[in-house]
Amino acid sequence: MQRRHEDIKFADVNNDIVRSLVETGPRYYVTLAIAVLITLACFFFPWFYQLYYGIGAAGMNHPTVWGTYLASFIFWIGLSHSGTLLSCVLHITNSEWRKAMYRSAEAMTLFSLMVAAMMVMVHVGRPWFIHWALPYPNQMELWPNFRSPLMFDVMAITTYLTGSSIFIYMGSIPDFAAVRDRTTGWRHHMYVLLSLGWRGTDTEWHRLGWAYTFLAVLIIPLAVSVHSIVSWDFAMSIVPSLHQTIFAPYFVVGAIYSGTAGIVTVMFVLRKYMNFEHYITKVHFDNLGKLLLALSLIWTYINVVEVFTGWYSNDSAELESLRYKLFGFYAPLYWEMILFCAVAPLLLISKRFRTSFVPMLILSIAINIGMYTERFLIVGTSLSRQYLPDSWGVYVPSLVELSILVGSIAMFCTLFLVFVKIFPSVSIYEVKETLPAPDEGKTQWQATH
């Protein structure tokens, strides 16, 4: 039965969302099984092969020593951006429409960060020594290199992961308590632990509100710093077309852009398969569509700036790098990116497009394909054309790399599928804040009689 948003009662919110946690159909198990199988077969199996054989299992070669693994890393970090960042910004600006969607957006942040961390493990030559990049006290007094942007990266991502985990968990405590009171058996025990003895007193709500806003303010600059630092991995090199000051804002905008598109995709799926039609409505798609349009324009602007900066420099290496990007071996990918990320999003100008679900889904997926291409091009084209023409080369990803890319998407889906059965994926208490108070009608009745 289709209900309108205004007709929902407080009890319905609890019922609907607890139902999404406890009632699990066969379709869920089949999807989960497929996701787990793909993760094992396409991610872990090729990765173990690569651990045994060496990075040579991937397609990287002498000038292009970075490849799709690093592109995937930036992509997942980028995807992680919108969730918590957007949720924080909207929380501070008191946007009502945030309340139904922020939990799943934050979960997206968390899981894409985890997948990004896995991509680092896949990327490095000797992942069994990856802990050397962490500053832990040791008897040999060996420390990581504090001058290295990669080292900043490790720090920034760890901080962001910690911050986002605390943020999503803290925001869920009242919901865990609500679910705790309505479940039995092992679920009840789990939620007793997770809700940390929440009773719903005024003091508790007050403290939660204060701490939540505090964290939101803290996380915004943190999120901006994370992708700036990721961009420094590239911008701090002296590789032509990577050594650019625009890279930090470029990466941050790109990250929020692909992340917002990711939220649209996730919301479509949640709406469709978790039966949240009356919580996630056209309003959300409309607002996210406007945001996407603004982001796509900023993104296009930065791309134009990047091209013109290279052109005006009139430096031979820079010009060659630019020529190769626009018209070289990878040119079809470049124009595909322009089509998906700069031209297609112009459709969002139309309100009818923004409020249609399926076209929005298709566009959001197209944007993320384009954004993945962007990350691949940043790594691929720049490294193939550097200063010495003798060391020019072409890089094509191998089957192992493509398989790991598919596997990483499946890993993200697996994590998300587990999430929707443990966390209330729509915030119970914040959705209630958007509904009319239960006694409102009664008060009116009393006033008129």
* 122 counts as binding another protein under rule CB under 8 A: no
Q: How far is the CB of 157 from another protein (least distance, A)?
A: 12
Label residue 275 left, alpha or beta by phi (over 0 means left) and psi (-120 to 50 means alpha). Answer: left
Size of the site for another protein (CB under 8 A): 45
CA atoms of 33 and 116, how far apart (whole Å)? 22
- Among the residue ranges 74-82, 128-136, 186-194, 346-354, the one whose residues contact another protein (CB under 8 A): 128-136
* 124 counts as binding another protein under rule CB under 8 A: yes
**Two tokens, residue 64:** 């292009």
Q: How far is the CB of 375 from another protein (least distance, A)?
A: 15
- Among the residue ranges 200-208, 259-267, 383-391, 416-424, the one whose residues contact another protein (CB under 8 A): 383-391
* 123 counts as binding another protein under rule CB under 8 A: yes
* 297 counts as binding another protein under rule CB under 8 A: no
Site for another protein in 89-108 (CB under 8 A): none
Site for another protein in 147-166 (CB under 8 A): 147-151, 154
* 399 counts as binding another protein under rule CB under 8 A: no
- Residue with smaller CB distance to another protein, 70 or 88: 70
DSSP string, 73-112: HHHHHHHHHHHHHHHHHHHHTT-GGGTTTHHHHHHHHHHH
CA atoms of 288 and 97, how far apart (whole Å)? 10
Helix, strand or coil, per DSSP, at residue 423: coil
* 132 counts as binding another protein under rule CB under 8 A: yes
- Residue with smaller CB distance to another protein, 125 or 332: 125
Q: How far is the CB of 118 from another protein (least distance, A)?
A: 15
* 347 counts as binding another protein under rule CB under 8 A: no
- Residue with smaller CB distance to another protein, 186 or 312: 312
For 314, how many CA atoms within 13 A lie in the half-sphere containing its CB? 1
Please identify which residue in 25, 125, 185, 332 interacts with another protein, judged by CB under 8 A. 125
Q: How far is the CB of 303 from another protein (least distance, A)?
A: 22
Helix, strand or coil, per DSSP, at residue 47: helix
CA atoms of 359 and 382, how far apart (whole Å)? 34
Please identify which residue in 27, 358, 389, 449 interacts with another protein, judged by CB under 8 A. 389
Nearest to 212 by CA among 163, 173, 167: 167
- Residue with smaller CB distance to another protein, 98 or 227: 227
- Among the residue ranges 81-89, 110-118, 140-148, 336-344, the one whose residues contact another protein (CB under 8 A): 140-148
CA atoms of 248 and 227, how far apart (whole Å)? 7
CA atoms of 345 and 363, how far apart (whole Å)? 7
CA atoms of 418 and 421, how far apart (whole Å)? 6
CA atoms of 180 and 198, how far apart (whole Å)? 10
Q: Rounded to whole angstroms, what are the CA distances from 397 to 58, 134, 321, 344, 369?
A: 7, 29, 20, 27, 16
* 144 counts as binding another protein under rule CB under 8 A: yes
- Among the residue ranges 27-35, 94-102, 235-243, 293-301, the one whose residues contact another protein (CB under 8 A): 235-243
CA atoms of 434 and 88, how far apart (whole Å)? 18
- Residue with smaller CB distance to another protein, 403 or 414: 403
Nearest to 259 by CA among 75, 73, 72: 75
- Among the residue ranges 177-185, 237-245, 399-407, 437-445, the one whose residues contact another protein (CB under 8 A): 237-245
Residue 299 near residue 254, CB atoms below 8 Å: yes
Indicate the residue type of 252.
V
Q: How far is the CB of 251 from another protein (least distance, A)?
A: 16
Which residues would be at the binding site for another protein (CB under 8 A)?
53-56, 59-66, 123-127, 129-130, 132-133, 142-145, 147-151, 154, 233, 236-239, 383, 386-391, 393-394
